[in-house]
Chain A
Amino acid sequence: MKEEIVIAGFGGQGVLSMGKILAYAGLMNDLEVTWMPSYGPEQRGGTANVTVILSDKPISSPVLDAYDTAVVLNQQSLDKFESKVKPGGTLLYDPSGIHRLPERTDITVVPVDAVAATVELKNAKTYNMVLLGALLKHRPVVPIDAVLRGLKKTLPERHHHLIPLNEEAINKGMSIA
């Protein structure tokens, strides 16, 4: 098993932390993982992306030119990564972030209206967990309990009371995708 994933959007959308939680979930599930961020002055507003690889074998390159799955949250990211999804791969996108729809027909294209979901959840910060739920529905690379254990590992203890809310957001994402 090997899943090569890119998550891309604006800084501040939780792109890097979504990747981190996914990577930790892989770790909890005894997989090899790499997490390679675009780093730079892009904490808020700039474009940010992260490459996460989950594999049952040692991983060579943390840097890729083709992905099994792409999660794109704005137009720049869609423009950059749509062509880099492997044939037969999966592209998840947030329709509220883009004005040109994906055009590929040889991949599974999944719109995820995560913004609407966060309104229903009454918490905008659950945005990336909704997307993670949507991702895991189409690419069940790690079980939910591994994600929750990953969350426990990445969240500081003072935020552990938010884990049920995150679980709810992941389930919401699974139901809308």
Chain B
Amino acid sequence: MKGNEAIAHAAIRYGFDGYFGYPITPQSEVLETLEAEMPWETTGMVVLQAESEVAAINMVYGGAAAGKAVMTSSSSPGVSLKQEGISYIAAAELPALIVNVMRGGPGLGTIQPSQADYFQATKGGGHGDYHLIVLSPATVQEMADFVGLGMDLAFKYRTPAMILADGIVGQMMEKIVLPPFRPRRTDEEVRRQCPWAATGRHGRDHRNVITSLEMDSPKMEENNLRFQRTYAEIEANEVRFQEYFTDDAEYLIVAFGSVARICLKAIEDAREKGCKIGMLRPITLWPFPKKEIERLSAQVKGILTVELNAGQMIEDVRLAAHDAVPVFHFGRMGGVIPNPNEITDALLSHFPDAKA
């Protein structure tokens, strides 16, 4: 099935309580599949096409405030519209899942694949000092798996998580094993798991109030310090990545999402000719696998980042590599997808010695 369809099926199977969205290419199949599956008749999951992206993210805010497992999905211009709501959700310390199937920008741009929202996803996006946990799927299988992982991490740390996919992995079809059904939590289970949620008093002596507003500056600073402690904990515990051929690598490619697969093909071809190229694929874009890149930068002679943008993740790679080795960028923009040969050529143009 398609990556977008996998997200929809996974949302039902992982026991989500609600999906709120608004159609936009290249992710419309998420909403379409959910409406065709009609989970409100089976698991009781709510599926709602909102009047806009802004409405959808605020419905997510409301659902999350009540301790529900809720999500939304969109593509780049739509995700920009959601940023205010995402900042509020982060500030209110609520779990939620946001899916961005990126297309080429800026502006309305194009409907073709892109990774140009890396900065937006990993550096905040909305206003204020906050982070999302950002997961980058490279396969249709990961599209499904990360729906569950994203939800679990969001609840564990009470912070929104994002699946940062792109038009390639959203539109392509692949073999996939869907997760087993996990029943939706009962109201009682929600109250137990989320004692902070606005679910009614139930004998408590205080009301739970969900808000991002705190007019008292020292208290707001305390809130911020608490957020930062959570982020430090996430950075310590939740870094995920995958390495390919790094054991003997002399040159390293760093790439995320579907582009990492195009790079892998380039590396497989180059290895047949004896070029010792390896790859690190960050799976969590935030928290970023800094230590692993630092370690590999002591081993390799050079690093090439490959991204469908003008060079965004390269900043994090350079920070992690501490100028130990030269770091270059190769990318295509505006929805153009590079082929494996272009990637090999780019690597060899920066590092002629990589040629066996």
Contact = CB atoms under 8 A, between A and B. Distances in A.
Contacts of A33: 173-175
B264 interface: yes
A39 B111 contact: yes
Contacts of B337: 63
A61 B175 contact: no
Nearest to B264: A60
A36 B264 contact: no
Interface stretch (B143-151, B164-172, B223-231): B164-172
B268 A60 contact: yes
Given A34-B174, A39-B26, 11 more contacts: A35-B174, A36-B171, A39-B112, A39-B171, A60-B264, A61-B340, A63-B262, A64-B265, A64-B339, A65-B341, A65-B342
Nearest to B112: A40
B173 A20 contact: yes
Contacts of B342: 65
A68 to B, nearest CB: 14
Nearest to B337: A63
Interface residues of B, number: 24
Nearest to A34: B174
A36 B168 contact: yes
B173 A65 contact: no
Contact of B168 (A27, A32, A62): A62
Interface of A: 20, 23, 27, 32-37, 39-40, 60-65
Contact of A65 (B111, B261, B268, B339): B339
13 contacts: A27-B175, A35-B172, A36-B172, A36-B173, A39-B111, A39-B171, A61-B262, A61-B263, A61-B266, A62-B258, A63-B339, A64-B339, A65-B340
A168 to B, nearest CB: 27
A60 B261 contact: yes
Interface of B: 25-26, 111-112, 167-168, 171-175, 258, 261-266, 268, 337, 339-342
Given A40-B112, A65-B341, A35 B173 contact: yes
Contacts of A39: 25-26, 111-112, 167, 171
A23 B175 CA distance: 9
Task: List the 7 shortest-distance A-B pairs measured between CB atoms, nearest first.
Answer: A61-B265, A65-B339, A35-B173, A60-B264, A60-B265, A61-B262, A36-B172
B261 A62 contact: yes
Contact of A23 (B111, B112, B173, B266): B173
A61 B264 contact: yes
Contacts of B168: 36, 62-63
A84 to B, nearest CB: 9
A34 B265 contact: no
Contacts of B264: 60-61
A61 B339 CA distance: 9
Contacts of A37: 171-172
A61 B25 CA distance: 22
Contacts of A64: 265, 339-340
Given A39-B111, A40-B112, A62 B175 contact: no
